[in-house]
Amino acid sequence: MDLATLLGIVIGMALLIIAIVMEGDIMLFWSFSSILIVFGGTFASIMINFTMRQVLSVFPLLKVAFSKRTSDSIGMINTLVDFAETSRREGLLALEEKAQAVDEPFLQKGVQLVVDGTDAELVRNILEIELIFLEERHRLGQKIFEQMGALAPAYGMIGTLIGLIAMLGALDSPDQIGMGMAVALITTLYGSVASNLIFLPLAGKLGIKSDEEILLKQVMIEGILSIQAGENPRIVEEKLKSFLAPAERDSSRRSAEGEPASERVTANA
């Protein structure tokens, strides 16, 4: 599990609760009707805006947002360099078995296309089309959470209007005025917290994870095409390292100096 995501939500909620307790009774900030307005209204609007299949995809996306798994670009580069060395020694056909040993369907598909003798331009087109639609699927998940982040404060305002109407309708009953004002203010609070502490940050986290995966697959495409072109493994390695940030390149270089490439690939697999 990604502790940063979990700790961020826990710490944010804890600080809010501590601040509330310091100011008075925490039960003053509890309103079940406000929860129904904000979260019920938000999810109802999401169901109207998206199809049921798209709405249900939110739950797997939550697993992705809280997942600790990160894209190992350095490990993939080492794997592709090892593939390039194998290709030069034993030919492209030797890559089919090695690709099956790597738990990466995108890489397996690309290698299979190369082994089958597919034209390089066609290989690039097929993989880039798959990459485009992968990015679109990821973008849909981000859009759902971004939409929820925009809707929650709006329903907070709707709750505020409901509370004010209830308050104005009970001017002759002073004991009801406080309840109406509480609903008005608490619903706005819930909407703002849900948007800025949960929905929008989750959309941002999904965006970061999507960018990492897209970058990893771009590395795979360039590596596969370089292998198909028969480029020198060292040239392949330098080309693929251009995708990395300078700090990651330095880390990869230090690792390379201390351990043979073939052993690094085995460890990463």
Summarised one tens digit per residue, pLDDT across range 231-253 is: 888 888 888 888 877 776 665 55
Q: What is the model's pLDDT at position 65?
A: 76
Please say whether the beta carbons of 203 and 211 come within 8 A.
Answer: no
Query: What's the domain range around 4?
Result: 1-27
Distance (Å, whole) CA 96 – CA 104: 13
State the Cα–Cα distance between residues 148 and 168, nearest whole angstrom: 30
The residue among 233 and 178 whose pLDDT is bigger is 233
Assess whether 57 and 182 both reside in one domain. Answer: yes
The percentage of the chain sitting over the pLDDT mark of 90, rounded to a whole number, equals 28
**Closest among 262, 212, 252 to 86, alpha carbons compared:** 262
- In this structure, the answer to whether residues 81 and 16 fall within a common structural domain is no
Q: What is the mean pLDDT of residues 52-61?
A: 84
150 and 17 in one domain?
Answer: no
Select the more confidently predicted residue: 243 or 49.
49
Taking the C-alpha atoms of residue 67 and residue 2, their distance in angstroms, rounded to an integer, is 5
Residues 93 and 48 in one domain: yes
Question: Is the confidence at residue 220, as pLDDT, over 80?
Answer: yes
Tell me, yes or no, whether 117 and 20 share the same domain: no
Whole-angstrom distance, CA of residue 25 vs CA of residue 22? 8
C-alpha radius of gyration, the chain, whole number: 26
**Which of the two residues, 169 and 55, has the higher pLDDT score?**
55
- Phi (first) and psi of residue 7, to 5 degrees: -65, -35
Please check whether residues 131 and 256 belong to one and the same domain: yes
Q: For position 196, what pLDDT does the model report?
A: 94
Same domain? For 219 and 134 the reply is: yes
In angstroms, rounded to a whole number, what is the distance separating the alpha carbons of residues 32 and 118?
61
Q: DSSP secondary-structure letter at 195?
A: I
Q: pTM for the full model? A: 0.77
On whether both 101 and 228 belong to a single domain, the answer is yes
Question: Same structural domain for residues 22 and 35?
Answer: no
Q: What is the DSSP string of 210-222?
A: HHHHHHHHHHHHH
Most confident of 27-31, 82-86, 130-134, 146-150: 146-150
Say if residue 193 is in the same domain as residue 217: yes
How many angstroms separate the CA atoms of 216 and 145, rounded? 24
Rounded Cα–Cα distance for residues 145 and 198 (Å) = 9
Q: Dig out the tokens for 239 from the structure.
A: 């080309």
> How many domains are there within the chain?
2
Cβ–Cβ under 8 Å, residues 93 and 194: no
Q: Are residues 8 and 42 in the same domain?
A: no
Q: Tell me how crowded residue 53 is: count the other CB atoms within 10 A of its CB.
A: 7
Q: Alpha helices of the chain — where are they, by DSSP H?
A: 3-23, 32-35, 41-49, 52-56, 58-66, 73-90, 95-100, 105-115, 120-168, 174-193, 200-228, 233-241, 246-258, 261-268
Q: Does 10 share its domain with 129?
A: no
Answer yes or no: is pLDDT of 269 > 50.
no
The pLDDT tens digits for 71-81 are: 678 888 888 99
> CA–CA distance from 106 to each of 100, 130, 257 (Å)?
11, 9, 29
